[in-house]
Amino acid sequence: MSEEKKSKYLSMSSELDEFSYAFGAKEKLKSGAKIFGKGLLNVGIFAATEVVPGMFKQMQKNAEEVRKKRDSESS
């Protein structure tokens, strides 16, 4: 059995297929909106899981550097 790695992001392959096979403006608009929505949601997932934790790590690192600098100046 091969196990597929579960991605934390939403797959857009079925929406891209649906868009390419859509006929008429109404269907294209509907499938385009689905792609846009999933893309927007993926950006939100990325921000919540990658950017925000990285910001907190950097803030902690900066705070430690300031504390060390302050301690060395007061000595």
Q: What is the pLDDT along the chain (75 residues), one digit of tens a residue?
A: 445 577 888 888 888 899 999 999 999 999 999 999 999 999 999 999 989 889 999 999 999 999 988 888 876
Number of domains present in the structure of the chain: 1
In a domain, 35, yes or no: yes
In a domain, 5, yes or no: no
CB atoms within 10 A of CB 11: 10
Determine phi and psi for 4, rounding to 5 degrees.
-85, 140
Look up the domain containing 44 and give its range: 13-74
The pTM score is 0.67
